[in-house]
Every structure is written in structure tokens, then in C-alpha cells.
Amino acid sequence: MALKGKKKGIGLSFAWNGIVEALKQERNFQIHIAATVLVVAAGIVLHLSMLEWITIILVIGLVLVTELINSAIEMLIDYIKPEIHPQAKVIKDIAAGAVLVTAAVAVIVGILIFIPKLFHLF
């Protein structure tokens, strides 16, 4: 039995809508998508191994998921507490910190995978 007021439908369409909205509204998500395109193109050009692709895809996914969660947390805080509040700032900063950590890990993984391949080109 569906909850009153809850729409019936496939969750995938709602999830896809969330990704599209994030792509439209969130500058940092757009930057992460652009970086993803560049990394995938570099991976194709440099002929990554299967294990390298798996690693790259996992860290890309981790960064994108963390950015989506961060955006949702920020929007939720703005909805619940639209006025400036010190605790709301701390919550947003911690969520942004999670994105920074995952992005830093992704950069380190990218360096470990791509730098040796680039050195072999020269």
C-alpha cells in the first residue's frame, strides 16, 4: 500500500531527475563531470588496463556520489534553516570536506595511474 500523497513510479526516473537537476544547478558537479570526460578520454588514449579502468571508475563514482550527497545536504540545510546559523555552516563545511577528501584521493589515484603512462610516451 502506497503512502498517502506519495507518487507511484519507478525510482530510477526520480534518481535520474536528481542527477539532471544537479547537472543543471550545481557548478561543482558540472566541474566533476567535465573532469570525468577528460579522465576517460585520457584513459582511452593511454590504453588503461582493466584493473586501471576499474580503479578509475570507482574513484570517479566516489567523487560524483559524494558531490551529489553534499549538494543534497546543502539544499536540505538551506530548506530547514534558511537564515544564517553557525551550526548550519559547520554541517555544510563538513559535507564539503567529504567532497574534498574524495577528490584528493581521486587525484592521487590519477597521478599513480597516469604519470607512469605519460613517462613511457617520452
Cα–Cα distance, 89 to 95 (Å, whole number): 10
Instruction: Tell me the per-residue pLDDT of 96-111, one tens digit each, with 9 for 90 and over.
Output: 999 999 999 999 999 9
pLDDT above 60: residue 3: no
Number of structural domains (the chain) is 1
pLDDT category, 116, cuts 50, 70, 90?
very high
What does the pLDDT read at residue 1? 46
Does some domain include residue 64? yes
Report whether 53 contacts 111 (CB < 8 A): no
Residue numbers annotated as active site: 67
Cα–Cα distance, 48 to 14 (Å, whole number): 34
Report whether 109 contacts 60 (CB < 8 A): no
Helices (H) and strands (E) in the chain, counts: 4, 0
Q: Which CATH number characterizes residue 33's domain? A: 1.10.287.3610
| Residue span of the structural domain in which 21 resides | 17-121
pLDDT mean across residues, the chain = 92
